[in-house]
Amino acid sequence: MGARRLLIGAVALAVWPGVAAATDCPPLQDAAGRLEKAGYRLDYRFEPARPPVGAPFSVEVALCGPGGPGTGGLDVDADMPAHRHAMNYRPEVRQVGPGRYRAEGLLFHMPGAWRLRFAAVRAGAPPVRLDTTVTTP
């Protein structure tokens, strides 16, 4: 009886994608925010903790897709929709682990509401775009 229950539990874990993804895609510690869309979950954290105005900063990202950690790549950018301008610099994005990315060289050159834009790259499909607003003082 005990062995049967163990077998049922093991099969459930194997076929339940949410649980599989959770064990393969640990959340980002001390994340500043979480975005979810189309089966993707993206945690992000700034370094320094609050993006400065006029100085470069970095973003750490944990990306989980429907099948587990994001492996297709990640684009990161930002703009100010109200002012109709983007950042003046292209960030450098590199993968630092399974589903883990680091974007460096972001720079918010003026105070206000910036739209931080992430794009999870997928082979053979349009990227999944996840946006959030970051307001600098």
Partner 1 sequence: MRAALFIALALAWTPLVAAPAFTTAERQAILAHGPWPPPLEPDPSNRVSGQPAAIALGDALFHDFRLSRTGDAACAYCHDPAKDFAGSDTIARVVRVKTRTLYRNTQSLWNVRFNRWFGWAGAVDTLWGASIRPILAHDEMDADPERIARLLTDDAWLAGLYARAFGRDPVGVARDALVVDAGKALAAYQETLVSPRSAFDAFRDALAAGDAAGVAAYPAAARRGARLFVGEGRCNLCHAGQRFTHGEFEDAGVPYFIRPGLVDPGRHGGLKAFKASPYRRDGAHSDAPDSPAARLTANVRMQHRDWGAFRVPSLRRVARTPPYMHDGSLATLEDVARHYSELDEERLHADGAAILRPLKLTQAEIDDLVAFLKTL
Residues that bind partner 1 (CB under 8 A): 53-54, 56, 80, 82-92, 104-105, 107, 109-112, 137
Q: Which is nearer to partner 1, 57 or 118 (CB)?
A: 57
* Shortest spacing between CB 19 and partner 1, in angstroms: 40
Q: Which is nearer to partner 1, 126 or 137 (CB)?
A: 137
Q: Which is nearer to partner 1, 54 or 67 (CB)?
A: 54
Bridge-partner residues for 117, per DSSP? 77, 131
* Shortest spacing between CB 89 and partner 1, in angstroms: 5
CA angle 52, 99, 23 (to 5 degrees): 120
Q: Which is nearer to partner 1, 37 or 83 (CB)?
A: 83
* Shortest spacing between CB 83 and partner 1, in angstroms: 5
* Shortest spacing between CB 72 and partner 1, in angstroms: 22
Q: Tokens 């992000």 belong to which residue? A: 44
How distant, in Å, are the alpha carbons of 2, 35, 66, 131 from that of 14?
19, 26, 14, 32
One-letter amino acid for residue 27 of the chain: P
For 130: left if phi > 0, alpha if psi spans -120 to 50, otherwise beta; the answer is beta
